[in-house]
Structure 1
Amino acid sequence: MKSVNKWIKLYFALGLNYDEILSCLAFKNHIIISKSTLRRKLKQCRLFRRKYYSDILEVALFIISELESSGRQHGYRWMHLKCLQSGYNVTRDTVYLLLQILDSEGVKSRKRRRLKRRQYHSKGPNYVWHMDSYDKLKPYGIAINGCIDGFSRNIVWLEANITNSDPKVIANYYIKAVRRKSGCPQRIRADLGTENTYVEQMQKFLRRDHADELAGDKSFLYGKSTHNQRIEWFWGLLRREMGQYYMDMFSEFSRDDSDLFCGDHLDKSLIQYCFMDLIQRDLDSLQLTWNTHTLQSKQNYGTERQRPILLYTMPELYNAEERLCRVEDNEIDICEEETVYRTILCDETIACLCEMIRRENNLQKPSYADEAKDLYKRLRRLIRFELESMDV
């Protein structure tokens, strides 16, 4: 009984509706209950969508805290899902009205027409993974790499690091995903670049003995970025939801009249030290919200409501089949030995210096972007003052 309630609470917190919760219980947990039983259990747990709404002031304060960082890029549907996943019971209409009050300019700027895109077709989850790097923040020392499943649009990984050019680092993202899933995709699509060479070799190695039409050398495909449709589209969403916020902030640092960023090793390392954890936290939040949100485009999968995580984990509901290729643990171990996992997300010497300055001046690690901005300015001023004193 406790196990059932635990799963129900989790799926409810993710924002799933009744039918989706029942499907997850049946397919993922092998628990079959009726909708009336689900309603009763939700009532026992005091979980309601249309009762016991959260205090509107608390919701407004949460939205304000989101608007103080990259959350100002979110639309009302995205913000509503983040409210639900943060424990606030609120209607979508209420979130929309609050955003009109708290961020009227942002609401207006998001009201624009969308281009009609060409249709994309895939045979099922893990048929093709699309991987790529996002370089818009790279001039400031932040390198992002991601991978998305072509069928479901479920994000496989989304990582911020000091580099997205080291093939051993990119390969570590890949092999960690393969280990989590106990298998690899039938095919990977990527841009032509040296950073993808280790992933190419590992994918072909893991697929060498499989018997399908894409086994071996055909399991990895290079192509132009314009043809890597799924991940290129996602980078546009990442820029809207959080990337533009950091681009604007860092661009402000490098303005001629601000003199807060000159692009040298010290400045990039300080940005990495102050912002890397926050950016990774935003990426993790983006991944969770994207994977659990309802897709607006209606594909012919037999139902109108489609969420990436459900398309990915329960393809049977959408007239598709799982395409994951099982691999042995010892083969994954062999591949992982050739990868690099970077735990230090900043120059080690500069990181130690920053830690020493923080302790001496009783400075806290930042929890929000504005705090990171203030910490960056202070550390930069103190360190450059010491360096100039040494030169004299």
Structure 2
Amino acid sequence: EKHFPGRKPIRQIRTRLNSVGPYCKVNADGHEKLGVLALKMGDIGFAIYGYKDKWWDNILFLVLVPESCTAAAGGHLFLNFAEKISGIPIQLTTDKGPEVGYQHAFMVTLRYVSVIFLFFWTMEITYRFRSVYSELDNVTFPPHVILKSTHNTLIEGFWHWFSDKSGKNIKEVLLCGKTEYIFNTAVDRNDRSLFYWMFIPLLQKELNDFQHYWNNHRICNQEKKLMPSGHIPSFALEYPSQLNGIDCRIEIPKEAVTQLREFLEEDTGMSRDECFRWYSDEFAQTALTTWESIGQPAINLSHAWDVFAQMAPLIMQT
């Protein structure tokens, strides 16, 4: 009954967002607009994963990864995020997906208990972490909230800003390799590794630049908003009290992240390096040597395919 010709989409009922300060509620999600299905360049594709704060509208973490829709990747991404901010938020919000399993377990572990038993499949693991926030009510402030993708609006709605400002231009540049017949993994598998060696630093720089732009632009005024508006996100982080906010970040010891990382690697058989590896170390050295042999030309989005065309035949001969 929900699907029939001519059916009009059901409008989602939206309510006003609320949060008491930075790191109170953080939303996380992946972006697949540069993925395999989007680029249609064989098995080439990128995933983007980000964490965004609800109260001050700041992008906390934005990174390019080979795959974000696996349990191991989600676990390592969350631990990378926790390392970067030296803590965790009170509440993490995500949509449904295989990448949220370990994120949920780690949020519960790090936030609540001094002794917690986590059951993963057939294994029983005991962790002992103490938290000053262990007294938080898990009904009022649940450590992890899972929503439908259409309801995870804080970060789902953010992706179109990235797409409009940077994403569409990036995609056009990447597709030039296909439309101009420069790139073909069917002929030489090294093209795949060279593609990643060439474009990963460029795309991550674009993400970093967009994150800096977003965190330092002024948010538009919204009179009915329950949280700050008309502010600059980076200012709100540094001076939350001036906007009637409370810094809610829960500090965690590095040892806690290290122990969880060790468990994750043992449980999944995937280390952080293996999970986020784009190409082998041997190829990286070959590509660097080849690039140096052609005079170390500048690599940027405007000329990356020109450099690629020079390097690809030389690497094929090695």
TM-score computed with the length of structure 2 as normaliser: 0.73
Tell me by how many angstroms 1:344 deviates: 5.0
What is the SS of the residue equivalent to 2:51? strand
Are the equivalent residues in 2 in contact too, given 1:151–1:312 (CA < 8 A)?
no
For residue 128 of structure 1, the aligned residue among 25, 38, 43 is: 25
What is the SS of the residue equivalent to 1:374? helix
What is the one-letter code of the residue matched to 1:122? S
* Residue aligning to 1:206: 110
For residue 219 of structure 1, the aligned residue among 143, 153, 178 is: 143
- C-alpha distance in 2, partners of 1:304/1:217? 23
Name which of structure 1's ranges 270-279 and 180-189 shifts more when overlaid on structure 2.
180-189
- C-alpha distance in 2, partners of 1:302/1:195? 29
Matched, 1:372 2:296: no
Query: Identity over the aligned pairs, expressed in percent?
Result: 21
The C-alpha deviation readout for 1:219-243, integer Å capped at 9, x for no partner, is 1122221111111122111111211
CA-based RMSD of the aligned residues comes to 2.9
* Residue aligning to 1:284: 208
Tell me by how many angstroms 1:248 deviates: 0.9
* Residue aligning to 2:58: 154
Tell me by how many angstroms 1:216 deviates: 11
Tell me by how many angstroms 1:290 deviates: 1.0
Structure (1/2) with the larger helix percentage: 1
Are the equivalent residues in 2 in contact too, given 1:129–1:149 (CA < 8 A)?
yes
CA 1:243–1:360: 2 relative to 1, 3 Å: same
Matched, 1:348 2:293: no
Matched, 1:357 2:284: no
Are the equivalent residues in 1 in contact too, given 2:184–2:191 (CA < 8 A)?
yes
- C-alpha distance in 2, partners of 1:150/1:304? 12
* Residue aligning to 1:238: 162
Are the equivalent residues in 2 in contact too, given 1:162–1:272 (CA < 8 A)?
no
- C-alpha distance in 2, partners of 1:181/1:359? 37
* Residue aligning to 1:312: 237
Higher RCO (C-alpha 8 Å, min separation 6): 2
* Residue aligning to 1:196: 100
CA 1:217–1:168: 2 relative to 1, 3 Å: farther
- C-alpha distance in 1, partners of 2:78/2:234? 19
- C-alpha distance in 2, partners of 1:267/1:224? 38
Tell me by how many angstroms 1:118 deviates: 6.3
- C-alpha distance in 2, partners of 1:260/1:181? 41
Tell me by how many angstroms 1:143 deviates: 2.2
What is the SS of the residue equivalent to 1:121? coil
- C-alpha distance in 1, partners of 2:76/2:298? 28
Tell me by how many angstroms 1:365 deviates: 5.3
Tell me by how many angstroms 1:295 deviates: 0.7
1:1-392 alignment, distance < 5 Å? 119-139=16-36, 140-209=44-113, 210-214=134-138, 218-255=142-179, 258-262=180-184, 266-298=190-222, 300=225, 305-337=230-262, 338=264, 340-342=271-273, 345-364=278-297, 366=299, 368-384=300-316, 386=317
Aligned residue pair count: 267
CA 1:205–1:215: 2 relative to 1, 3 Å: farther
What is the SS of the residue equivalent to 2:48? strand
What is the SS of the residue equivalent to 2:112? coil
Are the equivalent residues in 1 in contact too, given 2:91–2:141 (CA < 8 A)?
no
What is the SS of the residue equivalent to 2:78? helix
- C-alpha distance in 1, partners of 2:243/2:70? 38
Tell me by how many angstroms 1:149 deviates: 0.6
TM-score computed with the length of structure 1 as normaliser: 0.60
